[in-house]
Chain A
């Protein structure tokens, strides 16, 4: 009896460790070559300490560089279809991993709102700036502005400073005055008061101005970003007229919250719901069980709430998954962790309430602004598909103007297009990671459900 865990971020490693801790055999897979996910990202030569040591647990089979591209139900449980080896290389072996219980912990990626020039090289997601700094010791620019909403902007600024970038400012589009006024929401959660004080110090030492109600609303340059327009925002995030300022930078890091990676959950038929931050998340019950028996979910895919919350959910999901295949667990252990998870969920709710994305961003765009980066579909092309061609659903819209049909499969533009058009998007992507046809053809017979 095996528990399969997809994703080795805080949620996945804690799920693997708690399941193995109560006697279950665990297979832990991640496309990365190191465990840790987005939070514990480290250079490749860093030692594996703390929670990351789970990969050395005797009952945990750790499978790095393992890209799950599809999942199916089988008579006994679940089957992951994966490829093992360097990213996007052809000829990587195709494997099928079977288990009786499944923990999904695929995490999330940054949400970026479009603005004129956001497709210029030099505009990055906040997470990209973070990942390059933490994992590769590379500063995405020498002269960087950080823009978006939410507490995540602060560690990004810190990491940029840490790799020698000059941070010209952290622009928070919302009004974190409310954030600061609601410390009770934060107690015992990721955004501890102490943490805020820490970041205040980091910013002041680095001489980084922190501005609220402002954002980068345009980027300029020929082949790369040379400058940006920074503006004050009204309450609804439209630009306060006359407030625009041109600032010379060579990079922008942008993040407006996160979007959970749901493809495997959707492929399995797990129930999905709209969370308060308007992202779609996997619905879980008290024990992290999804609507599909045997499938558990943890971390950012159930609600965007940070690494601590992901870890707590991971512990619970691992225990529940192990229990579902016969491991016995101690109830006291569970009720403690359950309480912790509930607190984290409160925090997620608070986070969403304090950092809403307001619709005024739509006024930053001009007709020629690309909404879909992959297929290079402009705002006016999307509008005309709706107005002139009468697109009344997302699928029709996609096929009428090709928005969301490129290699990223709408991961980046999907939510933005849904908000621009009012047409809901269900991110169905049965192929979760591209597979080359030759490799697909070589999948062993009988490995399909």
Chain B
């Protein structure tokens, strides 16, 4: 058996993107997921690839690189794995951010202005009903973001992993990594099937990354931040055309509150269902689906789209976003444990940020020129230090 150069722990979208980028650079990997790949946080993600919700800064840069990368990456994969496997329902549908009252309008327009300066296409629009015919008439301001796109996270992850397999690397489901052996650096990982020698380990364990960092001999303040999504019965195509959300969403994302915060985020999927989010709550790994959260989501969605009033909600599900205290992902080598790398902490944007994250990991590991500045995401940045891991 050929040993991998790198073991990627976690087969979510981030682990898959790391494995794809590493194998593209000729590195042999083994992806180990304790469950089924794409079945954890990635399977709960709504698949929005957003630049619109980000302040100018490192995350926006990563997001823009990533949003550009997704369609190209999927197009490249067509040749490698065929058009049907490479289909991830990518749709450049654009985002529409709506302020429903005057107090929300000014901050939205100011944010759009800052984003424009940073090079984002942010178009203040007066013809909202032209873009979204079913939107509530009471809109104080709206900004259209043509760069925002959408894809189906599980299809996308499976496409990345199909390419990894095609390149001769392995993807193992049902294999939990229980420990990391090291001398002066990582030498192998421990699984229930025995030890697996490797040159490096990538921690792509999503909300469980803090736990994995610990068993690997380090620490990382990544915590779960709960989110619920309501799913409607299938609706006619074009009922909701863009990814539409309330301007207060940006504030919700940026808040660090442990208490429940909700904001309306509405989009349709290719299958016809409309997804209604989003809620944020820090409740550990508590799986319950609270009626008060669902009610809040419904109320906020109806304020944007009254047409949904008579539409049935048929399902609700939840997931745990991998949250860091400064809302920035952690990407790079862990100085405390040579051979241990992290690619995690993407909170509510991991689907969007995955390809650039994977690429950055591959560049840093192989010594290539990084395509975005890696410094803000480094593991030993001050904002991550000295924080106890509350939810491990």
Q: Give residues in A with beta carbon < 8 Å to B.
A: 70, 72, 81, 88, 90, 267, 375, 388-393, 395-396, 399-400, 402, 405-407, 409, 428-431, 434-438, 440-441, 443, 447-449
Q: In whole angstroms, what is the CA distance A428 to B165 when docked? A: 31
- B308–A431 contact, CB under 8 A? no
User: Contact: A437 with B39, CB < 8 Å?
Assistant: no
For A395, A407, A440, the residue with the greatest tally of chain B CB atoms inside 10 Å of its CB is A440
- Find out whether the CB atom of A390 lies under 8 angstroms from the CB atom of B158: yes
Q: How far is the CB of A449 from chain B (nearest CB, A)?
A: 6
Q: Tell me whether chain B's interface is mostly helix, strand or loop, or mixed.
A: mixed
Is B365 an interface position by the 8 A CB rule? Answer: no
B36 touches A392 (CB 8 A): yes
Residues of B within 8 A of A448 (CB): 290-295
Instruction: Report the 9 A-B pairs with minimum CB-CB distance, sorted nearest first.
Output: A393-B36, A448-B292, A438-B309, A392-B173, A399-B154, A392-B36, A448-B291, A434-B312, A440-B298
Contact bitstring B141-180, A, C-beta under 8 A = 1, else 0:
0000000000011110010011001000001011000000
Contact B295 A429 (CB under 8 A): no
Q: Is B35 an interface residue (CB 8 A)?
A: yes
Q: Assess the A396–B43 pair: CB atoms within 8 A.
A: yes
**Of the residues B154, B271, B298, B314, contact of A400 by C-beta under 8 Å:** B154
Cα–Cα, bound, A70→B230 (Å)? 14
4 further interface pairs, Cβ-Cβ under 8 Å (given A388-B85, A390-B37):
A400-B158, A435-B312, A435-B313, A436-B309
Cβ distance B30 to chain A, nearest Cβ, rounded Å: 14
Chain B residues 108 to 164 lying within 8 A of chain A, measured CB to CB, are 152-155, 158, 161-162
Chain B residues near A70: list those with CB within 8 A. 289, 291, 294
Contact with B291, one of A72, A90, A436 (Cβ below 8 angstroms): A72
Q: How far does the alpha carbon of A125 sit from the alpha carbon of B276 in the complex, in Å? A: 34
B43 contacts A449, C-beta separation under 8 Å: no
Once bound together, how far apart are the Cα atoms of A385 and B17, in whole Å? 20
Binary per-residue interface labels of chain B (14-47) against chain A in the complex, 1 for a CB within 8 Å, 0 otherwise:
0000000000000000000101111100010000
What is the CA–CA distance of A267 and B35 in the complex, to the nearest angstrom? 22
Chain B hits for A443, CB < 8 A: 291, 295
Partner of B161, one of A267, A390, A430: A390
Knowing A392-B36, A396-B158, A449-B292 touch, does A90 contact B233 (C-beta < 8 A)?
no
Q: From the candidates B155, B288, B310, B316, name the one contacting A438 in the complex (CB within 8 A).
A: B310
Residues of A with C-beta under 8 A to B293: 448
A267-B289 contact in complex given A392-B36, A396-B37, C-beta closer than 8 Å: yes
Given A72-B291, A391-B36, A396-B43, are A434 and B233 neighbors across the interface (CB < 8 Å)?
yes
Give the chain B neighbours of A409 by CB distance below 8 A: 314-315
Is there contact, CB below 8 Å, between B162 and A390? yes
Which chain A residue shows the least CB distance to B82? Answer: A388
Residue of B nearest to A435 (CB): B313
- Closest-by-CB residue of A relative to B81 is A388
Q: How far is the CB of B210 from chain A (nearest CB, A)?
A: 23
CA distance A280 to B310 in the complex (A): 33
Q: In the complex the two chains form, is A438's CB within 8 Å of B302's CB?
A: yes
Known: A393-B173, A434-B314. A407 touches B295 (CB 8 A): no
20 contacts between A and B (CB under 8 A): A72-B288, A72-B290, A389-B155, A389-B158, A393-B173, A399-B43, A399-B152, A400-B155, A405-B271, A409-B314, A409-B315, A428-B317, A431-B315, A437-B302, A438-B302, A441-B295, A441-B299, A448-B293, A448-B295, A449-B291
Cβ contact of B313, chosen from A90, A392, A440, cutoff 8 A: A440
B55-97: CB near A (< 8 Å → 1, else 0) gives 0000000000000000000000000000011000000000000
Instruction: Evaluate whether A441 and B291 lie within 8 angstroms (CB atoms) in the complex, with A396-B158, A400-B154 already known.
Output: no
Cβ distance B239 to chain A, nearest Cβ, rounded Å: 13
Which of chain B's residues 282-324 have a Cβ closer than 8 Å to chain A? 288-295, 298-299, 301-302, 308-317
Option from A81, A399, A437, A449 in Cβ contact (under 8 Å) with B308: A437
**Contact A396:B310 (CB < 8 A) given known A438-B302, A443-B291:** no
Query: When chains A and B are docked, how far (Å) is the Cα of A279 from the Cα of B307?
Result: 40
Q: Mark B256-296, 1 if CB is under 8 A from A, else 0.
A: 00000000000000010100100000000000111111110
Which residues of the other chain, A, contact B37 by a CB distance below 8 angstroms?
390, 392, 396
B39 touches A396 (CB 8 A): yes
Closest chain-B Cβ to A436's Cβ sits at a distance in Å of 5
| B-side contacts of A90, CB under 8 Å | 309-310
Decide yes or no whether B252 CB sits under 8 A from chain A.
no
Which of A392, A393, A437 is the one whose CB lies under 8 Å from B232?
A437
Contact A429 B315 (CB under 8 A): yes
Give B214-250 as 1s and 0s: 1 = Cβ < 8 Å from A's Cβ atoms: 0000000000000000101110000000000000000
Who on chain A is nearest to B270 by CB? A402
**Among candidates A81, A434, A437, residue contacting B298 with C-beta atoms closer than 8 Å:** A437
- Could you tell me the distance between the alpha carbons of A406 and B233 in the complex, rounded to whole angstroms? 8
Task: Verify B302–A389 contact, CB threshold 8 A.
Answer: no
* CB neighbours of B174 from chain A (8 A): 392
- Min C-beta distance of B232 to chain A, whole Å: 7
A409 CB to nearest B CB, Å? 6
The CA-CA distance from A87 to B308 in the complex, in Å, is: 19
Q: Which residues of A contact B232 (CB under 8 A)?
A: 437
| Cβ contact within 8 Å between B162 and A437 | no
Determine the chain A residues whose CB is within 8 A of the CB of B289 once the complex forms. 70, 267, 430
Q: Give the chain A neighbours of B316 by CB distance below 8 A.
A: 430-431
- Evaluate contact between B309 and A437: CB separation under 8 angstroms: yes
| A389, B162: Cβ atoms closer than 8 Å | yes
B313 engages A375 (CB within 8 Å): no
Q: Are A402 and B290 in contact (CB under 8 A)?
A: no
Contact of B314 among A391, A395, A396, A431 (CB under 8 A): A431
Residues of A within 8 A of B308 (CB): 437-438
